[in-house]
Chain A
């Protein structure tokens, strides 16, 4: 049976997911994923043409509100914001430092 996933496509997926896999991980994951994807094939036996996809949730309704500042909705106090900034790996005078993007 032709495999759905091979060494090259696994390498591509890992790159997309920003994961560098070791040689051993590559070997194990390839075997695991082939086995798991073959198991998934059983779903192809069911006819689902007329079935709407279900995304989840018990009650499906949009939560809408006016686009305006609403202090009440703010989950955190100013002190919390300070603590969140402190928890960030690198900060400077209360600003969050991130690596150069461009």
Chain B
């Protein structure tokens, strides 16, 4: 089977029907990576030996006619802020350049138990801070569809790997759109689950009230499969919640989908949205209407405040979470006279400009005299944004919106203007502030669901997919 055709579903089918072995596919993928990743730059590191071993394990099980899971032998790429035991976990930061994970993140542990193969770790904006992967301390990642364009970010490496067929699927993390925007830019599928649906144990923390891990895949069906495997309560992440996702995730029924009402929020479709983007949305709506799904225009009046609200709360949490990178626990003990000097030296040399900018901004909004005017205010606005969604979900089941207000941009285009870069997250941020699940599907739409209703957005996504692109 050609690598370009491989999805998780097809891989499983080919594997159990003995059309190929997992080892053959992993070898083929590494050969393809060797040729193609020079140009793309999706990966930061590989552990081929571990990948071959894991693939052989699956092949033995298949040869012995044992029942294997849907993910057995499936070659995945993992964003480099998620821990895989024994492998580097740099978060694309110099300060963690020589760090190797000593344990598996819970999501990795679950995938390992399901027999998945980890090809390598993918590039990202340093500590997941950015929307173009240009903030990586190590390399640029290029958009597989056009090397002059950014792949989006921060999970740019994972999205580019899947789009260029350098992995069958990948994991990313999403704090303000970091799964969905790069998935959109690279024309693959991305899912940010409900806050609490997936354990973050073993994810290098950026902003703890917003971070979620989720899948980046070629099809919506694959996203549902990966999500089902990685979700669930975890003792080691007290924000994770026990939820039971049934068969409806993988096997949605058309009669159920037809009962859903999709809201079209006018604030997401008006001013500031590129014409090409809104045209695509009209075409998607037209297509979905052929399934006899009902639509309704709705309003989320506080949408315009989401970017300001988010870029106060996020840096506040960043400044606290990144206090641990001081040179005592991680990094090099360069020569120093006292502890103070060690802190200053390691942080100043080890952290990149965007990380520093956010730490300082966070320190400011939390500082005495400004706390109420900024941090406290933003938390109150966050509730208003949440109440907007609570209100519309009384009359609709899910929302359909664009993902990014513009098509992918060029390298360097927004790097000099951080505020402009922040504004590119305007349509993805609200789902993080409110904890809602959100799915992005090519050619460029986002479905936002009610809490714990990944089943609704995945069902509509899967039926859209079946209509053909």
Q: Is A52 located at the chain interface by the 8 A CB criterion?
A: yes
A19-B351, A36-B419, A87-B99 in contact; A57/B360 too (CB < 8 A)? Answer: no
Contact (Cβ within 8 A) B451 A54: no
Contact check, B103 vs A18: say whether CB atoms are below 8 A apart. Answer: no
Q: 16 A-B pairs, CB-CB below 8 angstroms?
A: A18-B340, A19-B356, A29-B357, A29-B360, A33-B364, A36-B422, A40-B308, A40-B374, A42-B304, A43-B309, A54-B382, A58-B241, A59-B196, A76-B103, A83-B103, A90-B333
Task: Assess the B380–A53 pair: CB atoms within 8 A.
Answer: yes
A binding-site residues for B, Cβ under 8 Å: 5, 10, 13-14, 16-21, 25, 28-29, 32-33, 35-37, 39-40, 42-44, 46, 48, 51-59, 63, 73, 75-76, 80, 83-84, 86-90, 98-101
Which of A32, A43, A58, A86 is in CB contact (< 8 Å) with B305?
A: A43
What's the minimum C-beta distance from A99 to chain B, rounded to whole angstroms? 5
**Is B328 interfacial (CB-CB < 8 Å)?**
yes
**Is B102 in contact with A80, judged by CB distance below 8 angstroms?**
yes
Q: How far is the CA of A88 from the CA of B328 in the complex (A)?
A: 8
Q: In the complex, what residues of A have CB within 8 A of residue B195's CB?
A: 56-58
A19 with B347: in contact, given A36-B311, A76-B103 (CB under 8 Å)?
A: yes
Interface 0/1 of B113-131, CB less than 8 Å to A: 0000000000000000000
Given contacts A46-B381, A56-B313, 16 further A-B contacts (CB under 8 A): A18-B344, A28-B353, A29-B357, A39-B307, A39-B308, A40-B312, A43-B305, A44-B377, A46-B305, A51-B380, A51-B384, A52-B383, A56-B382, A57-B195, A58-B195, A75-B201
Q: Please judge, given known A-B contacts A25-B353, A54-B379, A54-B383, whether A89 and B332 are in contact too, CB under 8 Å.
A: yes
Give the complex CA separation of A84 and B86 in angstroms: 11
B338-385 residues at the A interface, CB under 8 angstroms: 338-340, 342-345, 347-348, 351, 353, 356-357, 359-361, 363-364, 367, 373-374, 376-384
Query: Given the complex, which residues of A lie within 8 Å of B305, measured CB to CB?
Result: 42-43, 46
Are the C-beta atoms of A54 and B196 separated by less than 8 Å?
no
Which listed residue, A13, A37, A63, A80, touches B363 by the CB 8 Å rule? A13
Q: Is the CB of A13 within 8 A of B435?
A: no
- Is B360 touching A17 in the complex (CB atoms < 8 A)? yes
Binary interface encoding of chain B residues 300-333 relative to chain A, with 1 for a CB under 8 A from any of its CBs, else 0: 0010110111011100000100000011111111
Contact of A99 among B342, B357, B364 (CB under 8 A): B342
CB distance from A60 to the nearest CB of B (A): 10
- A16 CA to B367 CA, complexed, in Å: 10
- List B261-296 residues whose CB lies under 8 Å from chain A: none
A29 pairs with B239, CB closer than 8 A: no
| Chain B residues, CB < 8 A from A44 | 373, 377
CB within 8 Å for A99 and B344 given contacts A17-B360, A29-B357: no
Chain B positions within 8 Å of A, measured between CB atoms, are 99-100, 102-103, 194-196, 201, 208-210, 235-236, 238-239, 241, 302, 304-305, 307-309, 311-313, 319, 326-333, 336, 338-340, 342-345, 347-348, 351, 353, 356-357, 359-361, 363-364, 367, 373-374, 376-384, 386, 418-419, 422, 435, 451-452
Contact for A10 among B304, B313, B360, CB less than 8 A: B360
Q: List the 6 shortest-distance A-B pairs measured between CB atoms, nearest first.
A: A56-B209, A53-B379, A48-B380, A54-B383, A83-B102, A58-B435
Please name all residues of chain A whose beta carbon is closer than 8 Å to the beta carbon of B103 when the two chains form the complex: 75-76, 80, 83
A16 — nearest CB in chain B belongs to which residue?
B363
CB distance from A45 to the nearest CB of B (A): 9
Q: Which residues of A contact B236 (CB under 8 A)?
A: 75
Chain A residues near B319 (CB-CB < 8 A): 17
- Whether A84 and B328, one on each chain, are in contact in the complex, defined by CB atoms closer than 8 angstroms, is no
Specify the chain B residue showing the minimal Cβ separation from A32: B418
Contacts of A37 in B (CB 8 A): 364
- Interface contact A43-B344, CB-CB below 8 Å: no
Instruction: Please state if A20 and B344 are interface contacts (CB–CB under 8 Å).
Output: yes
Given contacts A19-B347, A19-B351, A20-B348, contact A100 B379 (CB under 8 A): no
* Given known contacts A18-B344, A36-B361, A36-B418, A73 and B235 CB-to-CB distance under 8 angstroms: yes
In angstroms, Cα B10 to Cα A71, docked, is 42
Complex CA gap A48/B384 in Å reads 9
Known: A48-B380, A54-B386. A89 touches B364 (CB 8 A): no
Q: How far is the CB of B415 from chain A (nearest CB, A)?
A: 11
**Cα A18 to Cα B196 with chains together (Å):** 32
- Within the complex, what minimum Cβ distance (angstroms) separates A22 from chain B? 8
Interface centre among A52, A55, A56, A83 (most CB of B within 10 A): A56
